[in-house]
Structure 1
Amino acid sequence: MADSPPAAFRLIQQQAACVFASRARIEAALPFHGTDARAAGFAAAAALADFSARVNTEELDGLLIELTHPCHGLTLDALAETTREVVGGLLAASGGQDIGELSNPGTEHWWLTLCETRWFVLAFAPCYPADSPRHAFGSHSTFLLLQPVASFDQHATPRGAVIADEVRQMIRRAYDANGCPYDADLAQQDIEALKFVWPLHLGAAPVLWWQSNT
């Protein structure tokens, strides 16, 4: 039910300074071409369920959801809304709570849980400048990469351990060398939801994507 990531996202993988990105095993749901981000979440739910059933046996690293309409990621506010609506659609389609009914994601113990799997989300979009780790390299699409938490265990040494601080520092130095200052304080703090949608610039306030502005 899933396919290979599109060329536009493979470029993001190749350009990423993260040592794990280029070799990550990523599958993609069918691209979504509409403007209703919640419908995109519903549309990707079957692919997510299939991916979840295989994530451990096949040691998969992520499922990609591509929204091709430019409206989803032209601004940071649009990207925050898109992320909230896609997550809400996935939750509703999987029989879970709607995003508005969840306990506050801005707490240390909150995880996005779908198909009995905990997920980390990385948003890449056209709104990010070239010096951002979430830059889209000219693509008009918005990409949400759902990474199962188990994937972090696969890349830790020994397996199941926390990724070593020296590896984290190496990743930070690699991003700096690529002209993409990496916000290590944001990356290492304990509220995982704050890392889903990054600010546009280093040191800017975290994005509370789960809060509606309407």
Structure 2
Amino acid sequence: MALLDTTKIFRLSCLLFFLYTSINITWSSCLSFLALIGSIYFLPFGDHTMNHKEKVMKTKEIVNGLYSKLSKDEEDVKAAEAILGFVTYDVENTDSLDRFERIKVNSNCLFARKAKIWGSPPWKEQLSLEENIYRLIPMFLRFTILCQSQKLDGFLIELPGVKFGNDVMVFASAFRRVLQVLSDHDPAEFYCMDKSYLGKRGWVFEFNKCTFFITTFAPFYPETHPRYAFRCSDCYILFQPEVSFAFHDLPPDSTETNWVNPTNTRDKIRVAFRQAGRGYDVPQSLNFPMSHDMIRPISGADPIIEWWTL
């Protein structure tokens, strides 16, 4: 404050001296005027008694007052929570699951109704198919980590029927694109969609070292078809981790079926579909490629849909 008071006193003195001597223009009046101008332009304004170190300390005080100081561990937790809030959603409470419920409750699969499924987030029309699938990858990855310990049965991806549900080949192409996006971002770097034997026996969809059995449902399938969507207007891709079959005591795959007196779960499911008028052909060989069954043709007489080539 001492410098500020001295500055004010000096400026006031210069002003009074200028007024006193400016009645007649003399050398002294000119000198007093120059002194006044100099005091305005060259002497500092405000409180400059604070040195650089004190200014830094003052700034830190303000910042600490606005933002509470956290430990490194607290900062890491806070950062992780912020990121999770940005990429996660409530996987067990989605519109896609609500709409798929009609298929679940009407399915002839014996454990469909009680299946624990995670759903995809709302589709964003302003984004491409690839961008929409990219958005759900964090939760798909989380699913592969937790599916065994939490006994999860499936991860559901919903595609809008207005775009992909009017033609089986259009849907087949979209199906390939969905799997390609997931495969391209496989954290295990296996990239199953890039294998040369895709479409042949031995190939299975794999992500983060978790293998999946995939079924699809779409509005273009008739009521007599095993992939009938029960008047749902959208398309669905259900990723069932193969480990989930063990949760339901499903026996090993077999080409044989006891149609008259089914005793195991697999035979009961096959009989239930047939009795409902939606029977499906049982593969004649255990070496039947899994990829051939992921998107079934509309008619049993139609050729296999080679979706991986579209």
Tell me, in whole angstroms, the C-alpha distance in 2 between the residues paired with 1:77 and 1:9.
22
2:202 corresponds, among 104, 109, 121, to 109
1:187 CA displacement: 9.8
1:73 CA displacement: 2.2
1:139 counterpart residue number: 232
1:162 counterpart residue number: 252
1:3 counterpart residue number: 92
Amino acid at match of 1:204: D
Tell me, in whole angstroms, the C-alpha distance in 2 between the residues paired with 1:109 and 1:154.
23
Unaligned runs of 5+ in 2: 1-88
Equivalences for 1:71-82 in 2 at 5 Å? 71-82=163-174
Residue 48, structure 1, aligned to residue 129, structure 2: no
Residue 190, structure 1, aligned to residue 288, structure 2: yes
Residue 150, structure 1, aligned to residue 243, structure 2: yes
- What do residues 79-107 of structure 1 show as CA deviations (whole Å, max 9, x unaligned)? 110110000111123354383x3223222
The alignment of Structure 1 onto Structure 2 pairs a total of residues equal to 208
1:3 CA displacement: 2.6
2:297 corresponds, among 175, 199, 203, to 199
Counterpart secondary structure, 1:123: strand
Tell me, in whole angstroms, the C-alpha distance in 1 between the residues paired with 2:297 and 2:196.
23
2:306 counterpart residue number: 208
Cα RMSD (Å): 2.3
Tell me, in whole angstroms, the C-alpha distance in 2 between the residues paired with 1:194 and 1:186.
13
Counterpart secondary structure, 2:212: strand
Percentage of pairs with the same residue = 24
Q: Do 2:108 and 2:269's aligned partners in 1 also have CA atoms closer than 8 Å?
A: yes
Structure possessing the higher relative contact order (Cα contacts under 8 Å, 6 or more residues apart): 1
- What do residues 99-118 of structure 1 show as CA deviations (whole Å, max 9, x unaligned)? 3x322322221111101211
Residues 90, 24 of structure 1: alpha-carbon distance in 2 compared, 3 angstrom cutoff: same
Tell me, in whole angstroms, the C-alpha distance in 1 between the residues paired with 2:175 and 2:284.
18
1:30 counterpart residue number: 121
1:21 corresponds, among 76, 90, 112, to 112
Unaligned runs of 5+ in 1: none
Structure (1 or 2) with the greater helix fraction: 2
Tell me, in whole angstroms, the C-alpha distance in 2 between the residues paired with 1:196 and 1:168.
18
Q: Do 1:31 and 1:65's aligned partners in 2 also have CA atoms closer than 8 Å?
A: no
Please report the TM-score for the alignment, with normalisation by the length of structure 1: 0.86
1:149 CA displacement: 0.8
2:216 counterpart residue number: 123
Moved more, 105-114 or 35-44: 35-44
Counterpart secondary structure, 2:200: coil
Tell me, in whole angstroms, the C-alpha distance in 2 between the residues paired with 1:187 and 1:203.
19
Runs of 4+ in 1 over 6 A off after TM superposition: none
Tell me, in whole angstroms, the C-alpha distance in 1 between the residues paired with 2:143 and 2:229.
24
Q: Do 1:156 and 1:163's aligned partners in 2 also have CA atoms closer than 8 Å?
A: no
Q: Do 1:39 and 1:86's aligned partners in 2 also have CA atoms closer than 8 Å?
A: no
- What do residues 32-57 of structure 1 show as CA deviations (whole Å, max 9, x unaligned)? 24373333331221110111111111
Amino acid at match of 1:3: E
- What do residues 103-148 of structure 1 show as CA deviations (whole Å, max 9, x unaligned)? 2322221111101211111111111111112112222211111111
Q: Is the radius of gyration larger for structure 1 or structure 2?
A: 2
Moved more, 101-110 or 8-17: 101-110
Tell me, in whole angstroms, the C-alpha distance in 2 between the residues paired with 1:78 and 1:114.
24
